[in-house]
Structure 1
Amino acid sequence: MPFGNVSHHEIAYQIVDGAEEFDSELLIDCRHMRRTGIPIPEVAKVPRQLLVSVELDDGDVDVKGTLLEDAIHRRRFCGEASFDFSHFIKTFQEIGFDSFYSIEVMSHELCALVSARRRALRL
C-alpha cells in the first residue's frame, strides 16, 4: 500500500518469500499498484504460486486528499475513471492466474446509496 509499511511490491514479495514455513500468499490491488507507480509489466514478475487474489477498482488520475483518503473515499467501479484494466488483467492471465478477482469500491457516493437503501427498507 502506498501509505503503509509495505509500500512497494518488492517488500511484499520479500515478506511472503521469507515466511516459507507459513502458508503465505499475496493479494494484488490494482489501485495500490497504480498509486505507488508500479508499472503493469511488473505484475508478470509475481510468482504465480504466491498470488491468491486480485482486487479491481477504478479511480481518477490525480489523488484527491491524502493517499489514504483517496483509497477509502474515492474508488469507482471498473471502467468509470482512468485505470487500464484490460492490460492489467491480460498480464495476470499471461502468468497463468485463474483464481479470484474481486471488486473493491469504497466511496462517499456509494455509502450514501447504502444508507438510503437501509432507510428505505425500514418502511
Structure 2
Amino acid sequence: MTTEELLATCWTTAGAAVPGSEDERSPLSLRERVEAAGAAGFTGFGLLYPDLVEAERTYGLAGIRSIFEDNRIRHIELEFITDWWNGGSRHTAVVLKAAEALGARHIKVGPDVEDRPWDIDSWAREFAALAAQAGGVGARLGVEFLPWSNLKTVHDGLRLVEAADHPAGGLIIDVWHTERAGTAPAELAKVPGAYIVGVELDDADAQVVGTLFEDTVRRRRLCGEGSFDLTGIITALRATGWSGPWGVEILSDEHRALPVREAAEAAYRSAAALLG
C-alpha cells in the first residue's frame, strides 16, 4: 500500500461524536479507538481536548502513553486550543502538560470562527508565546485555517506564522479547507516547508450542501471518493518537503455510523492507496 506514515485525526475514530455539539466526547473508550487505529495501520493518533480529559481521568497520562506504545502509535496530535489570542485559554495548561507526558508531536489551535476583525501584531505575539510554550515541552504548534473563520486561506495562515516567526509555530493544512477556499495545488507547493506542522487528507463532493460547517462535518468522503485533485495536492505538498505523517480526517454521518474498526480501516486504506 504505502511506506508513508498515517495519523488518524481525532474525528476519524470518534464514532458518533459530532463537532460543535454540546458534548463532543467520543462514546468509545480511548483503548478501543487506539486499538482500531493501530490495527488499521496508523502510526499516529489525534486526541480532542474533551476526550483527553476523559482519558486522563480513566487511565492517567502514563496509562494513555502505554496504550499508544502498545499499539505502535508514535505520532501524537492534541487539539483544539481556542481563544488563545486573548492571552490564554483554559485548555492550555492541560494540553501542554499532556503533550509533555505523551511526547506529543504537535498541538493544534484554531482561528476565530466568528470571523471577527483581528490585529496581526497582537495575534502574532500571542501565537509566538504559545509556540514557545509548545516548543518547551517538545511539541510544535499548528494553526488550522478554516474558510468560514478570520483565517480563511493558507495565505491568511502564512501571514500569521510568518509574523510570529517562531520555529515551533506553523500551519495545519487540511485539504478540505484549501479546496473549499479555492486554493490551487500550485499555491500549496509554494508554502515554505518549515512552516508545515501537519497535513490532513480527506475528500468531498464538488458542491457544498448547507453551510461550510455543515458540509465539512456531515459530508466529507473517503480519500479518492470525491471531487478533490488529491494526487495533485499530495504532489504539491511533497514539493514543499513534506513527508508525513499524513493525517486522515474523515467526518460524515456515514462514517460516524460505522463500527470503529471498520471506520479506521476504510480511512487508512483509502488514503494509503493514494499515497502509495
Please tell me the TM-score bracket, short chain as reference. Answer: 0.7 to 0.9
Q: Describe the superposition over 1:29-88 as per-residue Cα deviations: whole angstroms up to 9, x where unpaired.
A: 111010011111000111110012110101000001100000111111101111111111
2: CA distance between counterparts of 1:93 and 1:23? 20
Instruction: Give the match's secondary structure for 1:45.
Output: coil
Deviation at 1:14, TM superposition (A): 0.9
Gap regions ≥5 residues in structure 1: 118-123
CA contact (8 A) 1:52 1:99 kept: no
2: CA distance between counterparts of 1:54 and 1:81? 18
Superposition TM-score, scaled by structure 2 size = 0.40
Task: Please point out which of 173, 176, 194 is paired with 1:49.
Answer: 194
Q: How does 1:84-123 map to 2 (within 5 A)?
A: 84-114=229-259
Runs of 4+ that moved beyond 4 A: none
Deviation at 1:18, TM superposition (A): 1.2
Count of residues paired in the alignment:
116
Matched, 1:6 2:161: no
Worse overlay, 38-47 or 91-100: 91-100
Name 1:36's counterpart in structure 2.
Answer: 181
Name 2:209's counterpart in structure 1.
Answer: 64
Name 1:121's counterpart in structure 2.
Answer: none
Q: Between the two proteins, what is the percent identity of the paired residues?
A: 38
Instruction: Give the match's secondary structure for 2:165.
Output: coil
Worse overlay, 106-115 or 69-78: 106-115
Name 2:165's counterpart in structure 1.
Answer: 20
Q: Between Structure 1 and Structure 2, whose CA radius of gyration is higher? A: 2
